[in-house]
Amino acid sequence: MSITNASAYEAAKSAKSASHTLATLPTSARNDALTAIHTALSEAKEDILAANARDLELAKKAAENGQLSLSILSRLDLGKKGKWEDMLKGILDVRGLEDPGGKESTESFVAISKVISAALENTQVPNTAIQLVTTRDAIPQLLEQDRFIDLVIPRGSNELVRYIKSSTKIPVLGHADGICSIYLEHSVDPDLAVRVVVDSKTSYPAACNSVETLLVEEAALQSVLPPVAEALLAKGVSLRCDANTKAALTLHLPKSSSAILQDAEEVDFDTEHLSLVLAIKTVPIVTDAIIHINNHGSHHTDVILTSSEEIAEQFMSGVDSAGVFWNTSTRMADGMRFGFGTEVGISTNKIHARGPVGLEGLMIYKYKIRGAGHVTAEYGEGEGQKSFKHQKIEL
Amino acid sequence: MSITNASAYEAAKSAKSASHTLATLPTSARNDALTAIHTALSEAKEDILAANARDLELAKKAAENGQLSLSILSRLDLGKKGKWEDMLKGILDVRGLEDPGGKESTESFVAISKVISAALENTQVPNTAIQLVTTRDAIPQLLEQDRFIDLVIPRGSNELVRYIKSSTKIPVLGHADGICSIYLEHSVDPDLAVRVVVDSKTSYPAACNSVETLLVEEAALQSVLPPVAEALLAKGVSLRCDANTKAALTLHLPKSSSAILQDAEEVDFDTEHLSLVLAIKTVPIVTDAIIHINNHGSHHTDVILTSSEEIAEQFMSGVDSAGVFWNTSTRMADGMRFGFGTEVGISTNKIHARGPVGLEGLMIYKYKIRGAGHVTAEYGEGEGQKSFKHQKIEL
């Protein structure tokens, strides 16, 4: 069912009603539906890839005119080696579909949606359990359906997330970008520091879990920082240094290296560069690093590199981020790596789900009580009244 | 610190900063602060009760003029037997203060706030960790501080909650009122039904967990409904019946009872009466009860009374409410009864915390990873690369 053909009210209401049916279906019926979707998509591979090819054609033109980034173009291609298979595997893993992009993928989505709708016809899962919105016009009306919609998960730019949040009473699971920091403490093994910082910055610079800011303890300026900086420069990273780190590196690095150091501006410490740019700043001790991160970071993932367990624990308690890691890469913050399957996103919210979010992060509980005529009036402090036990139950 | 004297920005920022300090304090320091607050409040009892008496004076006049309800007036009185002691006990239980009312309690709150501020001076807990808003003017500015405020928990009317939700990007933990239903299935033991329905309706009619709607299975009209209705009438409950239930009761009850039955209007099934009024409706079978509750209820707490485990489980799966109870009172939905201590409220949200919410319902997790130089580039499908284990760990 496509929401262009129905009012947002009806669409949301029928989806809610479908969710009630889904809740009462046995697992076997839900699995049957997933299997039916999987089979139908497998059989429709040719049609869907043809629709995707038409999307790609338009997107290529948009990319040539500079209206679309090459990274979106590359994510759009369902025919790319392994992508189709991964998507189908994801369905069987009950992990949901990977998101292949925005309006650029309309034809592919319509083709996929038709196949899924048809597949559900022969199962107990209501057709309206999955609905496709093909035009942005429907979004504002959908955002008004707080009676029927429990949660909105916007996938896209920071601007999109901000727009959605300010336009609805429905809770929004925000998947913000990341300004992740690494704090370099003087006691860390320099080889370990090199490995972790290089991985955090260079293994996928466009990812939200890549490091953007390196905070260097004063006592580490002359010892640990130079080999780390040298390794980053060798990988083509632009280093934007404050005065202290620049002075230390100028002293310790070959002239050819120190000549390409850049000067950091204040804005660099509040920017998600998403490229091979790293801002570097000196801090006196760990508490200053914590304060900097809490004020300038995005509460996504922050790392301390140190051999001191005490300082590591202090950092991990004090930094108010979804992920606080000791001696490992910021890029470990990932649903797949955490074992959640394909992730819905990484949440910087402080309610419900925080950090990488998989299927379990979308769940909520309900309280079921199976009684035998128990009534509240029988419990209390009075004579002959019962009291509640409230014992911890061993697992 | 009172927010009348500081900008909302500074207030929110300093509270956030205080939260970061709090996170790093050892439990002993936090407990010291609670003890200090407890001691200071005990010592200031006289001053606070005097301030409260001034609030009460004004409130009594407002109540006499009909501007304030008697139930608010009664909740306002901190001098009432056991109330002061309960409040102080709550602090030691780390359960937070009970809410004694709105602007009517300004003087009491200011007195309490001053004592708490002074008590915190001599502890490691920052003074700005607890702040008092004394004027409503500050609210809109505070609701804009989504950078610093993680969660808003409005306590008050449905209108207040709705206003807050539509005025902020900050997540709102909504503590809505309750339209709770009981479904009477024909196989239930009539004595059990009488006990549970009477408790659900009459033990505290103004509470959000009291029953507002009785759904009666057609097959129970002639058997279970009459004794239940008779017991309710004996307790002074006004019964607003649909045609079928009225006909059945007219047949089975003494004329003196059936004469006082009222006719239900559609609006009765969407109303939280909060008084000794109960709307009664016939439904063919359990699935109709589920549909009625999902459409007309407030997703708070709903009960099925039946001797059939199968039908009970069907009801508990299908009803989309925080609490779904079998053969027990709706009024069991309560943080104290669940063992949560004084509750923050009962959430009908479907994210984060649902049902009765205590201290634990306000918590969120963070992911701490303690590594040894682990980097993402070493993991993958390639030759010699590591893979993630993702094993379930036995507790």
pLDDT tens by residue, B355-366? 888 878 888 888
Residue of chain A minimizing CA distance to B297: A147
> Which among A171, A324, A376 has CB closest to B332?
A376
Q: How confident is the model at residue B3 (pLDDT cuts 50, 70, 90)?
A: low
> Which among B19, B326, B375 has CB closest to A369?
B326
Residue of chain A minimizing CA distance to B315: A24
More confident position, A260 or A173: A260
As given in the structure block, the two tokens for residue A59 are 């997107």
> Which among B23, B294, B326 has CB closest to A320?
B23
Dist. CA A13–CA A131, nearest whole Å: 12
Who contacts A223 (Cβ-Cβ below 8 Å, separation ≥6)? A186, A190
Residue of chain A minimizing CA distance to B161: A169
Q: Is B62's pLDDT higher than 60? A: yes
Judged by CB atoms closer than 8 Å, whether chains meet at A367 and B314 is answered as no
In total, the C-beta contacts within 8 angstroms joining chain A to chain B are 214
**Lowest mean per-residue pLDDT among A173-182, A317-326, B124-133:** B124-133
Q: pLDDT value at position B100?
A: 39
More confident position, A137 or B287: B287
User: What whole-number percentage of chain A has pLDDT above 70?
Assistant: 93
Average pLDDT over residues A217-242: 97
Average pLDDT over residues A340-363: 82
As given in the structure block, the two tokens for residue B15 are 């509270």
Q: pLDDT value at position B93?
A: 63
The vertex-A169 CA angle with A166 and A175, nearest 5°, equals 60
Dist. CA A171–CA B165, nearest whole Å: 9
Dist. CA B350–CA A4, nearest whole Å: 27
Judged by CB atoms closer than 8 Å, whether chains meet at B366 and A329 is answered as no
DSSP code per residue over A252-299: HS-HHHHTT-EE--GGGGG----SSEEEEEEESSHHHHHHHHHHHS-S
Q: How confident is the model at residue B307 (pLDDT cuts 50, 70, 90)?
A: very high
Average pLDDT over residues A239-249: 97
> Which among B169, B196, B390 has CB closest to A166?
B169
Dist. CA B87–CA B105, nearest whole Å: 15
Q: pLDDT value at position A96?
A: 41
Q: How confident is the model at residue B104 (pLDDT cuts 50, 70, 90)?
A: low
Specify the domain boundaries for CATH 3.40.605.10 within chain B: 26-124
For residue B14, the distance in angstroms to the closest alpha carbon of chain A comes to: 12
As given in the structure block, the two tokens for residue B48 are 């606070």
Q: Is A13's pLDDT higher than 80? A: yes
Q: Is B331's pLDDT higher than 80? A: yes
Beta-bridge partners for A184: A216, A305
Q: How confident is the model at residue A245 (pLDDT cuts 50, 70, 90)?
A: very high
3-state DSSP helix/strand/coil % of chain B, to nearest 5: 50, 15, 40
Q: How confident is the model at residue A176 (pLDDT cuts 50, 70, 90)?
A: low
Chain A residues within an 8 Å CB radius of B165: 169
Q: pLDDT value at position B5?
A: 43
ipTM reported for the complex, 2 dp: 0.81
- CATH superfamily label, B26-124: Aldehyde Dehydrogenase; Chain A, domain 1 (3.40.605.10)
Q: pLDDT value at position A6?
A: 56
Contact A215, A290 (CB under 8 A): no
For residue A62, the distance in angstroms to the closest alpha carbon of chain B comes to: 33
Q: pLDDT value at position B301?
A: 95
For residue A111, the distance in angstroms to the closest alpha carbon of chain B comes to: 31
For residue A95, the distance in angstroms to the closest alpha carbon of chain B comes to: 15
Dist. CA B197–CA B224, nearest whole Å: 11
Task: Kindly report, residue by residue over A279-289, the tens digit of the pLDDT.
Answer: 999 999 999 99
Average pLDDT over residues A64-87: 76
Q: Is B98's pLDDT higher than 70? A: no
- How many helices (H) and strands (E) chain B has is answered by 15, 10
User: B162 by DSSP, 3-state: which?
Assistant: helix
For residue A145, the distance in angstroms to the closest alpha carbon of chain B comes to: 13
Dist. CA A170–CA A152, nearest whole Å: 7
Q: How confident is the model at residue A103 (pLDDT cuts 50, 70, 90)?
A: low
Q: Classify residue B103 by burial, with Cβ atoms within 10 Å: 0-12, 13-18, 19+.
A: exposed
Residue of chain A minimizing CA distance to B356: A367
Judged by CB atoms closer than 8 Å, whether chains meet at B369 and A171 is answered as no
> Which among A17, A350, A355 has CB closest to B367?
A355
Q: Is B99's pLDDT higher than 70? A: no
Who contacts B344 (Cβ-Cβ below 8 Å, separation ≥6)? B96, B153, B173, B175, B335, B357, B358, B359, B361, B362
Chain A residues within an 8 Å CB radius of B386: none
Q: pLDDT value at position A104?
A: 66
Judged by CB atoms closer than 8 Å, whether chains meet at B364 and A372 is answered as no
**Lowest mean per-residue pLDDT among A156-165, A281-290, A383-392:** A156-165
Dist. CA A177–CA B80, nearest whole Å: 52
Residue of chain A minimizing CA distance to B18: A318
Chain B residues within an 8 Å CB radius of A367: 322-325, 333, 338, 354-356
Q: Is B31's pLDDT higher than 90? A: no
Contact B338, B347 (CB under 8 A): no
Q: Is B178's pLDDT higher than 60? A: yes
Chain B residues within an 8 Å CB radius of A163: none
Chain B residues within an 8 Å CB radius of A338: 367
For residue B271, the distance in angstroms to the closest alpha carbon of chain A comes to: 16
Dist. CA A100–CA A59, nearest whole Å: 13
User: What whole-number percentage of chain B has pLDDT above 90?
Assistant: 40
Q: pLDDT value at position A262?
A: 97
Judged by CB atoms closer than 8 Å, whether chains meet at A375 and B150 is answered as no
CA B310 from centroid of its chain's CA atoms: 30
Angle between helix axes B83-92 and B27-43 (nearest 10 degrees) is 160
CA torsion through residues B295, B297, B298, B299, sign: negative
Average pLDDT over residues A61-70: 80
Taking the complete model, does pTM exceed 0.90, yes or no? Answer: no
Residue of chain B minimizing CA distance to A386: B337
Q: Is B95's pLDDT higher than 70? A: no
For residue A165, the distance in angstroms to the closest alpha carbon of chain B comes to: 6
Angle between helix axes A286-296 and B8-24 (nearest 10 degrees) is 140
- For domain A180-337, is the CATH number 3.40.309.10? yes
> Which among B171, B314, B329 has CB closest to A351?
B171
Dist. CA A197–CA A352, nearest whole Å: 31
Average pLDDT over residues B60-85: 78
Residue B101 φ/ψ region, left for φ over 0, alpha for ψ in the -120 to 50 degree band, beta for the rest: left
Specify the domain boundaries for CATH 3.40.309.10 within chain A: 180-337
Question: Which of B303, B351, B394 has the highest number of chain A CBs within 10 A, making it the mutation to test binding with A?
Answer: B351
Contact A331, A196 (CB under 8 A): no
Residue of chain B minimizing CA distance to A389: B339
Dist. CA A272–CA A297, nearest whole Å: 10
Contact A158, A177 (CB under 8 A): yes
Taking all residues of chain A, what is their mean pLDDT, rounded to a whole number?
86
Judged by CB atoms closer than 8 Å, whether chains meet at A199 and B366 is answered as no
Chain A residues within an 8 Å CB radius of B173: 351
Residue of chain A minimizing CA distance to B298: A147
Q: Is B102's pLDDT higher than 70? A: no
Residue of chain A minimizing CA distance to B331: A376
DSSP code per residue over A222-239: TTTHHHHHHHHHHTTPEE
> Which among B191, B320, B329 has CB closest to A20?
B320
**Lowest mean per-residue pLDDT among A29-43, A173-187, A263-277, B196-210:** A29-43
Dist. CA B8–CA B342, nearest whole Å: 29
Task: Kindly report, residue by residue over B259-301, the tens digit of the pLDDT.
Answer: 999 999 999 999 999 899 999 999 999 999 999 999 999 999 9
Dist. CA A354–CA A337, nearest whole Å: 15
Question: Comparing C-alpha atoms, which of B356, B376, B347, B348 is closest to residue B95?
Answer: B356
Task: Kindly report, residue by residue over B144-169, the tens digit of the pLDDT.
Answer: 888 888 888 887 777 788 888 888 88
Dist. CA A59–CA A57, nearest whole Å: 5
